[in-house]
């Protein structure tokens, strides 16, 4: 299919009202470079307010001082995640010139509703709580009150010294109590923590495996496999067992089946899961797990690494249990390797 391009600008001499001036130069069909002189574009106009701004003589809105002008100062929380017990505004209101102390109690009730902000809905209660804290200071610097005074606040009349807030660390909740609040907060329960324990704590495991080998075909079967591992403190035993199962299953597949097949040109000839043999549930035994709990020193919960440890021992355990009369020292220990070691092929 043939295509053509039309310039976006008119050619010199056009009569459609968009003709170029005599100094215009066309470049690339639709780019106009003008050599004509302009009175504003390309010049350096005088900034009439420049001198006042750089010398400080310029006036701004904050510089306006009118009779009866009110000044405001925000009182912010010095704590993060703190529960507000009370706000005592009596001392601030007793000072001369103080007209009001505004807290969350002075804001209109927002109710449980959302509003359309144009690019998505917004929960009114969350937005209002960010303006003035309601019951809980969410972060350090969260606004909890505002003092309104006739004239600027002097140092001894700072809101920080007049509007008092008592805060305590947030109260603890049980999982049952926390789950009861999901309808109000919306969303799942999530938690996050960080720890930097000192010192190293090793991880240990012992594997016991029963192996059955057909001497004529080299087929290997594992009727039973047991993984004994020191997991430190098993904070979630079923999750620890899952890690032990997964590591042992992966290592058993690598010990018996998985390998790269390369040709003379260095190309991998089994680059798909159709030819790269991985162990499935049909090839794996029931893996028994025994969790030994010896707390790791230096860690607040005494836990140890779990997922990496079960991958190491299985190949060695299977090789030690390989009762064919010949020691296998390479992986995978597939039927071809077994038959070659046993002198069958």
In this structure, what CATH number is given to the domain that contains residue 241? 3.30.365.10
Query: Does 218 lie in the same domain as 337?
Result: yes
Residues 198-234 pLDDT 10s: 777 788 899 999 999 998 999 999 999 999 999 998 9
Query: Does 311 lie in the same domain as 215?
Result: yes
**Residue 303 reports pLDDT greater than 60:** yes
Query: Does 325 lie in the same domain as 227?
Result: yes
User: Which residue has better confidence, 39 or 33?
Assistant: 39
**Domain presence at residue 48:** no
Query: Does 334 lie in the same domain as 214?
Result: yes
**Domain presence at residue 227:** yes
Contact 103, 89 (CB under 8 A): yes
* Cα distance between residue 332 and residue 338, in whole Å: 10
Q: Which residues contact 226 (CB under 8 A, 6 or more apart)?
A: 207, 208, 209, 287, 288, 289, 290
**Residue 325 reports pLDDT greater than 60:** yes
Candidate from 56-70, 144-158, 317-331 with smallest mean pLDDT = 144-158
Q: 10 Å Cβ neighbour count for 333?
A: 23
Query: Taking the complete model, does pTM exceed 0.75, yes or no?
Result: no
User: Which residue has better confidence, 168 or 289?
Assistant: 289
Query: Does 214 lie in the same domain as 335?
Result: yes
Query: Does 249 lie in the same domain as 148?
Result: no
**Domain presence at residue 226:** yes
* Cα distance between residue 179 and residue 74, in whole Å: 35
Query: Does 135 lie in the same domain as 260?
Result: no
**Domain presence at residue 327:** yes
Q: How confident is the model at residue 268 (pLDDT cuts 50, 70, 90)?
A: very high
**Residue 162 reports pLDDT greater than 70:** no
Query: Does 305 lie in the same domain as 258?
Result: yes
Q: In the predicted model, what is the mean pLDDT of residues 250-264?
A: 93
Q: What is the pLDDT, as a whole number, of residue 331? A: 93
Q: What is the pLDDT, as a whole number, of residue 158? A: 46
* Cα distance between residue 203 and residue 72, in whole Å: 60
Contact 224, 210 (CB under 8 A): yes
What is the domain extent for residue 83?
68-110+123-168
Q: 10 Å Cβ neighbour count for 287?
A: 22
Query: Does 220 lie in the same domain as 144?
Result: no
Query: Does 214 lie in the same domain as 102?
Result: no
Q: How confident is the model at residue 260 (pLDDT cuts 50, 70, 90)?
A: very high
Q: What's 105's domain CATH number?
A: 3.90.1170.50
Which residues does residue 143 pair with via DSSP β-bridges, in sequence order? 76
Mean pLDDT of the chain, nearest integer: 80
* Cα distance between residue 311 and residue 254, in whole Å: 9
User: Which residue has better confidence, 172 or 36?
Assistant: 172
**Domain presence at residue 241:** yes
Q: How confident is the model at residue 334 (pLDDT cuts 50, 70, 90)?
A: very high
Candidate from 13-22, 55-64, 83-92 with smallest mean pLDDT = 13-22
Helices 237-256 + 313-320 axis angle, to 10: 60
Query: Does 228 lie in the same domain as 148?
Result: no
Q: How many domains does the chain have?
A: 2
Query: Does 209 lie in the same domain as 152?
Result: no
State the DSSP string of 219-238. Answer: -EEEEEEEEEEE-BS-SSHH
Q: 10 Å Cβ neighbour count for 134?
A: 18
């Amino acid at each position: 299919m043939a295509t053509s391009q039309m310039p976006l600008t008119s050619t010199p001499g056009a009569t459609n009202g968009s003709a170029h001036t005599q100094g215009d130069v066309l470049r690339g069909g639709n780019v106009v470079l003008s050599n004509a002189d302009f009175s504003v574009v390309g010049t350096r106009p005088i900034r009439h307010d420049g001198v006042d701004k750089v010398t400080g003589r310029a006036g701004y809105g904050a510089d306006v001082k009118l009779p009866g002008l009110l000044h405001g100062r925000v009182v912010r929380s010095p704590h993060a995640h703190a529960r507000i017990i009370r706000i005592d505004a009596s001392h601030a209101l007793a000072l001369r010139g103080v007209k009001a102390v505004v807290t969350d109690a002075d804001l209109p009730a927002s109710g449980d509703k959302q509003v359309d902000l144009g690019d998505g809905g917004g929960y009114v209660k969350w937005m209002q709580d960010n303006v003035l804290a309601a019951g809980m200071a969410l972060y350090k610097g969260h606004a909890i009150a505002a003092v309104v005074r006739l004239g600027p606040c002097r140092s001894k009349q700072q809101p920080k010294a007049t509007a008092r807030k008592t805060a305590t660390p947030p109260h603890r909740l049980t999982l049952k109590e926390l789950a009861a609040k999901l309808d109000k907060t919306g969303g799942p329960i999530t938690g996050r923590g960080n720890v930097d324990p000192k010192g190293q704590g090793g991880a240990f495991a012992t594997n016991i495996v029963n192996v059955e080998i057909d001497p004529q075909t080299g087929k290997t079967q594992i009727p039973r496999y047991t993984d004994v591992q020191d997991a430190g403190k098993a904070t979630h035993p079923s999750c620890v067992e899952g890690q032990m199962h997964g590591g042992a299953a992966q290592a058993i597949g690598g010990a018996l089946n998985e390998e790269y097949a390369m040709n003379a040109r260095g190309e991998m000839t089994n680059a798909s899961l159709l030819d790269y043999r991985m162990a499935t549930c049909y090839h794996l035994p029931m893996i028994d797990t025994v969790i030994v709990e010896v707390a790791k020193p230096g860690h607040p919960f005494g836990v140890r690494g779990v997922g990496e440890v079960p991958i190491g021992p299985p190949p060695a355990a299977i090789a030690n249990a390989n009762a064919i009369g010949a020691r296998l020292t390479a992986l995978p220990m597939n039927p071809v390797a077994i038959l070659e070691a046993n002198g069958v092929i």
